[in-house]
Amino acid sequence: MAISYIGADVDCKMTELAVEENKKIVYRKRIPTTISDLRSELERFGGRKILIFEECPMAGWLYRNLRDYATQVIVSDPRRNGLICKDGEKDDRIDAGKLAALYRGGFIREVHHPQDDEHQALREAVALYHDRVRQKVREINKFHFACYGHGLTVLRKDFLTSACREEWFGELSKELREQLEIRAIGLDAAICQVEAARKLFVGRAKKFEIIRYWNELPGIKWVRSSTMFAYLDTPWRFESVKELWKYCGVGLWRYASGSDRNGAPKSGKVKMYPYVNRRLKACVLGAALDAIRQDDNEFSEHYKRMVQDGVSPANARHTVGRKLLTVMFGMWKTQTRYVPGLRN
């Protein structure tokens, strides 16, 4: 049975399709980027059909709506597809054909997307929360620097609440007060948005049992547990816990090249894996630090033992992060609660 590799170059209005069978492009078409048109085109082909398109803002929407109309839907990592933009001419028609050829050759790295709407809704709510937190921090920093420009050092308690702010504003010059009053509008809006976004994602996170279980771990509460769940989606996307470590920014990789003076291969250096999800890395290392500071759990005890044995504090923190991730990974796969001190 022939396999149809369907490359799709997607933009917000039109999609360029290129179908490859037996290493030859047998069909090309340019269609509107709508679910109905894409489904109709996929139904034209019988047998096994594999749809490939690159990660983009619409990738999740396309994946969830088209995965039942093809044998397999692949969302590819565009960073790995350097051939498309570096080798030969480039346009949407050419790129669609190259996507199909890259997948057939095994050069595509797949980008994971949630398969159901509940997981996607939680991911969007968590992303909204983190976006609003960044905006709140930006507004606070702008407020600070506006004061620094006039020789003032201001504490958070003086401007985060409107009551304290009004009393403090009375001591400022008219010019600075007028400027800060405008900034306060944006700051108040950001604070309200953070609170609303937190309520939104916590309400959605409570539907998932494993998130409630993770909250029992030292250093982990709703923000970190929901972020981990939203961005990882399922434990079965990782073949081993070492892959999970790398994705979350605490894994190691070995780099070696060449031979030593005796002609033997060099042993290489062990480094932190560089291509990581930065938001998950912040969650894992933040949870590890909080668990260490609590000083009454197996993670802090493990950290103390390593430091006493001569391990640097930075390496010990990363080891605690890996240990924490391993526990979470096991809880997720078995859907069980945390048991302190349990050893495999």
Whether 189 is covered by a domain: the verdict is yes
d(CA 168, CA 153): 12
State the pLDDT at residue 85. Answer: 63
State the pLDDT at residue 344. Answer: 45
Residues 9 and 100 in one domain: yes
Number of independent structural domains in the chain: 3
Q: Which of 207, 240, 268 is the last residue of a domain?
A: 207
CA distances from 285 to 79, 139, 282, 293, 316 (A): 26, 26, 5, 12, 11
- Going by pLDDT thresholds of 50, 70 and 90, the confidence category of residue 93 is confident
Q: Cα torsion for 336, 337, 341, 344, to the nearest 10°?
A: 10
State the pLDDT at residue 152. Answer: 76
Residues 183 and 249 in one domain: no
Q: In this prediction, what percent of the chain has a pLDDT beyond 70?
A: 97
Whether 342 is covered by a domain: the verdict is no
Q: Which of 47, 80, 104 is the last residue of a domain?
A: 104
Over residues 44-53, the mean pLDDT reads 90
Whether 193 is covered by a domain: the verdict is yes
Range of the domain at 88: 3-104
| pLDDT beyond 60 at 343 | no
Residues 139 and 227 in one domain: no
Question: The pTM is what?
Answer: 0.83
> What's the angle, vertex CA 107, arms to CA 232 and CA 64, rounded to 5?
40
Residues 167 and 227 in one domain: no
- Which domain CATH number covers 74? 3.30.420.40
- On whether the CB atoms of residues 213 and 265 are closer than 8 A, the answer is no
Residues 157 and 90 in one domain: no
| Digit-coded pLDDT (tens) for 285-315 | 999 999 999 988 899 999 999 999 999 999 9
Q: Which of 172, 207, 242 is the last residue of a domain?
A: 207
DSSP state of 5: E
State the pLDDT at residue 83. Answer: 64
- On whether the CB atoms of residues 64 and 39 are closer than 8 A, the answer is no
